[in-house]
Amino acid sequence: LLTSSVLSFSSVAYGDTSKVNQSFEATKAELNRSTTHYVYPALENKLVTSQSLYSSLNSAKKNYQQTRNMINSSTYSSSQKQSYLRDLDALYNEKVSKGLVPYIDAYNYATKYLDPIMKNIKSAQSRNDFAAVEKEYHKLSYQLKGRTAILYRFSGKAARDLLLEQYKKPADAKRSELMIPVTIYMEIVKIKDFLNTGKLEEAQASYNEINALLSSLPSATSNPFIAALFEEVAKVKNAIDNTANPIQQEILNSKIANLVTTLNAAQSNIATIESTGLNAITVAVKADGKPEDIANYLGVDLFNNVVSQLGVTHVNGFTPLSPEGLAYIKAQVPGADSLDDVKGKTVSLPLTVNNGVP
């Protein structure tokens, strides 16, 4: 037993060319299987995790190196050794260096860089956190512009296409989706800085940049993030207008106060309204009100009074009581079939008001 043990570590054992050949063939078979660990599952639309591949990678590396050592220590001639080593090295380079290793690197990159950024963007959008969205957008752009080449470096088209489909394409789409909203938000930040430093002309120039982009935004009807962005745009527009002509806002403030007083005096048994911010009112419906009275108040009386008392000339460019204007307003509260559907909702309407002064 002792002799056998000693011989198994001696050069004589390596010199047994039959054993070298067996090791060579076994290692070749293992190396050939290296790419199948991730390619075959991809053919069934399954993306293999990098963690599950490390044992295969470590085994391939270990046996490859052991076989190389056996060849170098064998009794083969120098030319035979070189021939074996060339074949073994070429196969290792093809299957491991250009296959298994870069696949693992690509998968790790996608899951450790792209995926967390995408999750952060989704979370920030759900909170309407524009600053966080901008920050993550720039991170995503950096990755997509300079680092995603790693996703293309491994062999195995099925796995490569699946990895791109699950990580690269959604990231590209998200960057395209956010390009204009982020640009608008960045201009909003600039406008606030300009107004704080008394640079009205620069603020107006930034708003002009925003205004040119608004038509390229997706519909805000079913997109709360875009709806919130429109609200931010409206706020900076009001801030610019108020800075440019504060008397206009004073007139409008007075009109809103009169509207609140008039409606509350006449119909407080159905609902009450109050001014709750710049150019904003909040409606509180009485819990014991008749549904038909409340529907008439919200659908007819409230808006008619807003139009007449504030001097509204246009709603998003439409005549207020025209079919187009009413359709636009209705579209701001989609699927509202009951009071519960509008409870707590904020509706922002771009109104043009005639204050009777230049």
Give the pLDDT confidence of 307-317 residue by residue, as tens digits: 888 888 888 88
Summarize the chain as % helix, strand, coil (round to 5): 75, 5, 20
Residue of 232, 141, 149, 243 whose CA lies nearest to 185: 232
Q: What is the pLDDT of residue 353?
A: 84
Question: Which has more pLDDT, 61 or 256?
Answer: 61
Rounded to 5°, the CA angle 275-281-283 comes to 110
pLDDT confidence tier of residue 248, bands split at 50, 70 and 90: confident
Q: What is the pLDDT of residue 61?
A: 97
Give the count of beta carbons closer than 10 Å to the beta carbon of residue 266: 11
Lowest model confidence (mean pLDDT) among 88-92, 154-158, 169-173, 197-201: 197-201
- The C-alpha atoms of residue 177 and residue 175 are separated, in whole angstroms, by 5
pLDDT confidence tier of residue 335, bands split at 50, 70 and 90: low
Q: Per-residue pLDDT for 227 more than 90?
A: yes
Per-residue pLDDT tens over the stretch 130-180: 999 999 999 999 999 989 999 999 999 999 999 999 999 999 999 999 999
Question: Which has more pLDDT, 91 or 322?
Answer: 91
> What is the average pLDDT value for the chain, to the nearest integer?
88
Query: What size, in residues, is the chain?
Result: 358
Q: What is the mean pLDDT of residues 19-48?
A: 96
Question: Which has more pLDDT, 14 or 295?
Answer: 295
Percent of the chain with pLDDT strictly greater than 70: 91
Per-residue pLDDT tens over the stretch 236-247: 999 998 887 776
Question: Which has more pLDDT, 304 or 70?
Answer: 70
Give the count of beta carbons closer than 10 Å to the beta carbon of residue 229: 24
Residue of 109, 22, 124, 32 whose CA lies nearest to 66: 22
Rounded to 5°, the CA angle 176-131-223 comes to 55
- The C-alpha atoms of residue 174 and residue 298 are separated, in whole angstroms, by 38
Q: Per-residue pLDDT for 109 more than 90?
A: yes
Q: Per-residue pLDDT for 4 more than 50?
A: no
Q: What is the pLDDT of residue 342?
A: 65
Q: What is the pLDDT of residue 326?
A: 81
Q: What is the pLDDT of residue 142?
A: 96
Q: What is the pLDDT of residue 16?
A: 65
Q: Per-residue pLDDT for 58 more than 80?
A: yes
Question: Which has more pLDDT, 358 or 226?
Answer: 226
Q: Per-residue pLDDT for 285 more than 70?
A: yes
Q: Per-residue pLDDT for 9 more than 60?
A: no
Question: Which has more pLDDT, 141 or 343?
Answer: 141
Instruction: Report pTM.
Output: 0.66
Q: What is the pLDDT of residue 6?
A: 35
Residue of 335, 308, 332 whose CA lies nearest to 320: 308
Q: What is the pLDDT of residue 8?
A: 38
Per-residue pLDDT tens over the stretch 264-284: 888 778 888 898 776 778 888
pLDDT confidence tier of residue 183, bands split at 50, 70 and 90: very high
